[in-house]
Amino acid sequence: MKNVLVTGGAGYIGSHACKVLRDQGYVPVTYDNLSTGWEDAVKFGPFERGDLQDRARLDEVFAKYEPVAVMHFAAFSQVGEAMREPGKYWHNNVGGSLVLIEAAVAAGCLNFVFSSTCATYGDQDGVVLDENSAQMPLNAYGASKRAIEDILTDFGASDGLNSVIFRYFNVAGCDPDGEVGEFHQPETHLIPLMLDAIEGKRPALTVFGTDYPTPDGTCIRDYVHVMDLVDAHVLGLKWLEDGKGSRVFNLGTGKGFSVREVIDHSSSVTNKPVPIVEGDRRAGDAVALVSGSTRANAELGWSPERSTLQRMISDAWRWHQNGHYDK
Ligand code: UDP
């Protein structure tokens, strides 16, 4: 059995990746400090509690499991928070990733799958966002991810580190079996907040900005089902194991939906109205982020078939009503 070190395996996307890795015959070893993750979400392999900045602990874990690859999900990932507390993003995301990358290289683990983001592109009105697009992040979250991409490139040149970098668009939905799901505290993401508002757990969803230059005035995003997203990670891992070398891939569907369109779909999936209030723009938000690349399909054979709004919202809704984790 091959071990894969999954940082952030107790978090939303990492826990789904662990499930798919386990299903594909790997042993996912979760490395997580539980700052935002949940031990209850670690169900598919061993758990090693630790911090990215703790080099001695990382060395111990690399020596114990001798992983064939790292999948690096652990990060802070909220745009609003990144605008208020950029230092947190530079210290944890960039500083922590640097320690992790150095530990991986020292251990001879030279296959690295990294969660980057479309937030590295920033606002580029009318430009098709493919992997060669300029990266002009609007916030410290996107800037921290771009910096980590640069670190990976440098260690590729110096030490032969092979990296598959995935630039995610907006991830949504959850495991249809309900074993793991999306559970953040505090929650900041559109779809879970909307489902809370539908259930009356919050008075209303605040729509962040209704005066954007889009057809209905709200921001546009490209939503990807988390199960499709983690499938891409396994394809990326196999790509590295096959010796195909470093590569960047956008993970999006190529189709954008406005905040109002997501609200309308949620209302029809749940058959309930979404209470909303219209608020100000959120600092750091891009107007529209939609992938314009087919590279992941052409080169990895990835096709995001579950990534319809209907499917993402209905899977999230099922989890929302039944699933949660306890500290
Ligand atoms: N959004 C919103 N109200 C909320 C949370 C998000 O209107 O309470 C909008 C946000 O401005 C963005 C979209 O929903 O246009 C997706 O935001 P989210 O935080 O889910 O993901 P991000 O795009 O920041 O990764």
Overall average pLDDT of the 258-280 stretch = 97
Q: By the 8 A CB rule, do 199 and 268 touch?
A: no
Topology of the domain comprising 190-221+254-322? UDP-galactose 4-epimerase; domain 1 (3.90.25)
* Ligand 1 lining (C-beta closer than 6 Å): 79, 170, 188-190, 193, 205-208, 219, 221, 259, 282, 285
Options 3.40.50.720, 3.40.640.10, 3.30.56.10, 3.40.50.300; which CATH number does 2-172+223-251 get? 3.40.50.720
Overall average pLDDT of the 265-278 stretch = 96
pLDDT digits (tens, 9 = 90+) for 83-135: 999 999 999 999 999 999 999 999 999 999 999 999 999 998 878 899 999 99
Q: How far is the CA of 239 from the centre of ligand 1 (A)?
A: 32
Q: How far is the CA of 290 from the centre of ligand 1 (A)?
A: 14
Q: pLDDT tier at 321 (50, 70, 90 boundaries)?
A: confident
The answer, yes or no, to whether residue 5 has pLDDT greater than 90, is yes
* Residue 35 pLDDT: 96
Does the annotation count 141 as an active-site position?
A: yes
Q: How far is the CA of 325 from the centre of ligand 1 (A)?
A: 23
* Residue 326 pLDDT: 65
Q: How far is the CA of 170 from the centre of ligand 1 (A)?
A: 9
Q: By the 8 A CB rule, do 217 and 279 touch?
A: no
**Least confident piece of the model among 18-32, 194-208, 312-326:** 312-326
The residue annotated as part of the active site, out of 141, 168, 212, 223, is 141
Q: Which protein residue has the closest C-alpha to ligand 1 atom 23?
A: 170
Same fold, 2-172+223-251 and 190-221+254-322: no
Q: Which protein residue has the closest C-alpha to ligand 1 atom 6?
A: 190
Overall average pLDDT of the 235-251 stretch = 98
Residue to mutate, 145, 198, 221, ligand 1, most ligand atoms under 8 Å from C-beta:
221
Could you tell me the residue ranges of all domains in the chain? 2-172+223-251, 190-221+254-322
- The atom of ligand 1 lying closest to the CA of 262 is 14
Tokens at residue 212, please?
A: 């954007």
Backbone region of residue 238 per phi and psi (left: phi > 0; alpha: psi in -120 to 50; beta: other values)? alpha
Overall average pLDDT of the 190-210 stretch = 96
Overall average pLDDT of the 23-29 stretch = 98
Overall average pLDDT of the 261-285 stretch = 96
Q: Which protein residue has the closest C-alpha to ligand 1 atom 3?
A: 207
- The atom of ligand 1 lying closest to the CA of 282 is 11
Ranges of beta strands (E only) in the chain are 2-7, 26-32, 47-49, 69-72, 111-117, 162-168, 170-172, 205-208, 220-221, 223-225, 247-251, 257-258, 276-279, 288-289
pLDDT digits (tens, 9 = 90+) for 128-169: 899 999 999 999 999 999 999 999 999 999 999 999 999 999
